[in-house]
Structure 1
């Protein structure tokens, strides 16, 4: 009896799905942990590092904006052609560029050189996913995982990534404290050492990407069946009157095809996700860490501990999200878990005491990531399998584009000592996004469910036809 209940708990938490998943699925999850570990560490110090180099706050905001704009273009190209050129190759290329970016940040202090490295080499201004990685990985996970288990796998994929960011911030924060307080290193030397670590993590990710099997590559579309020449009409049945299809060149042949039904869904999702991304960009993790450092005088070590705690809480909440989504659906889970976090985000800058500000930050972290796994599962379910990589990449590009202006606005507000406006605006816009998702997609059915309903309806029509005209058939 005890074993039965233990298995039930493990199934509810999604651990059974994760344990039974393929080696490639596990490698993709480990890759995400390693990547977010690097992002978390660099995000903790990015604003402070640029400030130590003598760069004004508005220009730091511009740095983040231009980084996101450049990343948008690179991500769009890479994800658009990822299925045709090879997912494994694109992931390996991105890991190599991460290593290059870490090396350049560790060696140079010129604003424009660092900006070029951040754009081409994937440096996250917000601690969140940038680059082509997530779209490719989520599309691959959908391909490797049965639809019934996708919610569990996406939940653990998201949890592992958030845990990676938490560990990265914690480790980087206390290593910087040790280097500065115990070893007596200067701030700039210790920060550059952290970017050497970023480069080493990029090499680890490169090895993990190369370890993936060919099962991760996109499934080839089945060719249309060739007509039997014995049964083909002698006169061609008018086929000769049809215009021959234009031959596609090499470049256009690599582009994915998006069905008309998916286009409407994607347009609605792009609008709503763009709103949410812009709201998030007004209060990215880099500026949140700067806010707590400048307002309350927290050291790097304490900052690392604080954001380690919030990230671990956010990661743990993702397990609950998968269980809730099985009962109430992905969309309702996304909305009703994300809405409270939007409210708490708007309240963070209001208190003048550290305990109350930390309380709102921690309360926000309790639900801020619970929408991530249901959102990925919902997105994978509402489009056709061969469209997933391109659609997920397109949506990530739209989100990155929408978030590009936010850091600059926050930087200008910080220069005028009114950064609290960014927090309040971000919380308000996020709440608007939640209500919009509920209004547009509350009753939307997954692609597989709609296809099954259409198949059953077609079978019912055939049965009715046979019943009405039995002699003709």
Structure 2
């Protein structure tokens, strides 16, 4: 079994990813709809997501830097504590000020998965650096893919839980607003469990020397990757954060149906994570990332013109199989191309470059949905992602990770 050879700490990291993914998944499905139930307009909802992603991007970069200085394990425990605080605020307060405060504190709900797929979020750069320490270079793509697979499988199961509010309303007569609160309470309980998981992970931390944040050698690579990440996530942010809300407005879909659709979406994404290292071994990491992502970009555009919920849902599920295949490969690729002592910083910087535009986009998307057309963000977002795919291939097609470079014959 491939899991038998995994380091014990790598397994614990995957357990933590799965727990977070389960919780973040149902929150990602219901959060925009919950805000709608509170009476907020589409533009305000978009603004909440933007605040979450932008603040999350800034803090994520900080967490990456601090993890190199003070230890990754300590930062992960701190993030779990902030998750508890954030969800406690959701349970007891519904004023816009407190909603914004909660999403800034931990980005849970709005922005919980940003930068890293299901269960990524602000934990992602710290987790990437810690996981890279627990695997050999030749197994890195596989281990990062398994980690993403665990996140997506648990995310698919979590998506089914998004139907809980509707069930509580229909079967138990709960008030609409109150019916969402058990999900926030469950997330806080999961975060408490995460603290114990992180405590069990071993780490021999050597504080990074206080000099340049990232060396020139790593800096050139990180800069190019970050610039492309801006374009890619400007497009992705027009689509992803409000996609469940788009289905809700476009087709009038109930929460249970959305839960099933996202369950299938995350399940097929999980299968793609297992396929990713196999395909990468055959055609290379860069080609795998570009080709899979380009297909997904085209599907984003086609979803905008789907005539029925069934047709749009099928395309979303198919898109999920190819859209996220690049996530573990990109994380592994980044860890391979920078120095080991700079991994937390590099992950933080690249996540910052990806999440800031991802954070700006929801407000723009919400304005387009309210003032122009519901489907305009899908078309523009997919087009921007296609531009990124072409540029990524041009810039990185000859830059291979160490495991793909054949040693020269003597």
| Residues 114 and 355 in structure 2, CA contact (< 8 A), matched pair in contact too | no
Q: Which residue of 1 aligns with 2:36?
A: 51
Q: Which residue of 1 aligns with 2:84?
A: 99
The answer as to 2:21 corresponding to 1:42 is no
Please give the alpha-carbon distance, in whole angstroms, between the structure 2 residues aligned to 1:47 and 1:400.
Answer: 18
Matches for 1:355-394 after TM superposition, within 5 Å: 355-394=310-349
Q: Which residue of 1 aligns with 2:140?
A: 150
Moved more, 308-317 or 126-135: 126-135
1:292 shift after superposition: 1.3
Moved more, 423-432 or 345-354: 345-354
Please give the alpha-carbon distance, in whole angstroms, between the structure 1 residues aligned to 2:50 and 2:29.
Answer: 17
1:85 shift after superposition: 1.1
| Residues 29 and 157 in structure 1, CA contact (< 8 A), matched pair in contact too | yes
Closer/same/farther in 2, CA of residues 449 and 369 from structure 1, 3 Å limit: closer
Q: Which residue of 1 aligns with 2:149?
A: 159
- TM-score, normalised via structure 1 length: 0.82
Closer/same/farther in 2, CA of residues 254 and 170 from structure 1, 3 Å limit: farther
The answer as to 2:251 corresponding to 1:296 is yes
Q: Which residue of 2 aligns with 1:333?
A: 288
Please give the alpha-carbon distance, in whole angstroms, between the structure 2 residues aligned to 1:378 and 1:354.
Answer: 36
1:315 shift after superposition: 0.7
Larger radius of gyration: 1
Q: Which residue of 2 aligns with 1:134?
A: 124
Match of 2:171 among 173, 182, 198: 182
1:121 shift after superposition: 2.3
Q: Which residue of 2 aligns with 1:65?
A: 50
Please give the alpha-carbon distance, in whole angstroms, between the structure 2 residues aligned to 1:255 and 1:120.
Answer: 29
Match of 1:279 among 214, 220, 235: 235
1:54 shift after superposition: 1.4
Q: Which residue of 1 aligns with 2:118?
A: none
Matches for 1:163-312 after TM superposition, within 5 Å: 163-173=153-163, 175-215=164-204, 217=205, 219=206, 253-254=209-210, 257-285=213-241, 287-312=242-267
SS of the aligned residue for 1:187 comes to coil
| Residues 276 and 429 in structure 1, CA contact (< 8 A), matched pair in contact too | yes
Q: Which residue of 2 aligns with 1:32?
A: 17
* CA shift digits 1:175-199 (9 cap, x unpaired): 2232111111111011122211121
Q: Which residue of 1 aligns with 2:308?
A: 353
1:273 shift after superposition: 1.3
Q: Which residue of 2 aligns with 1:75?
A: 60
1:423 shift after superposition: 0.3
1:30 shift after superposition: 0.8
1:416 shift after superposition: 2.1
Moved more, 102-111 or 186-195: 186-195
1:200 shift after superposition: 1.3
Question: 5+ residue gaps in structure 2?
Answer: 116-120
Moved more, 56-65 or 292-301: 292-301
1:329 shift after superposition: 1.1
1:351 shift after superposition: 2.0
Please give the alpha-carbon distance, in whole angstroms, between the structure 2 residues aligned to 1:122 and 1:137.
Answer: 16
Please give the alpha-carbon distance, in whole angstroms, between the structure 1 residues aligned to 2:36 and 2:291.
Answer: 38
| Residues 32 and 160 in structure 1, CA contact (< 8 A), matched pair in contact too | yes
SS of the aligned residue for 1:81 comes to helix
Alignment root-mean-square deviation, CA: 2.0
| Residues 127 and 165 in structure 1, CA contact (< 8 A), matched pair in contact too | no
1:83 shift after superposition: 1.8
| Residues 132 and 393 in structure 1, CA contact (< 8 A), matched pair in contact too | no
Q: Which residue of 2 aligns with 1:7?
A: none
Question: 5+ residue gaps in structure 1?
Answer: 1-14, 222-252, 461-473
Please give the alpha-carbon distance, in whole angstroms, between the structure 2 residues aligned to 1:258 and 1:66.
Answer: 27
1:147 shift after superposition: 0.3
SS of the aligned residue for 1:145 comes to coil
Please give the alpha-carbon distance, in whole angstroms, between the structure 2 residues aligned to 1:172 and 1:220.
Answer: 41
Number of residue pairs the alignment of both structures matches:
405
SS of the aligned residue for 1:128 comes to coil
1:149 shift after superposition: 0.4
1:155 shift after superposition: 0.5
* CA shift digits 1:109-140 (9 cap, x unpaired): 11011101111123142452355411111111
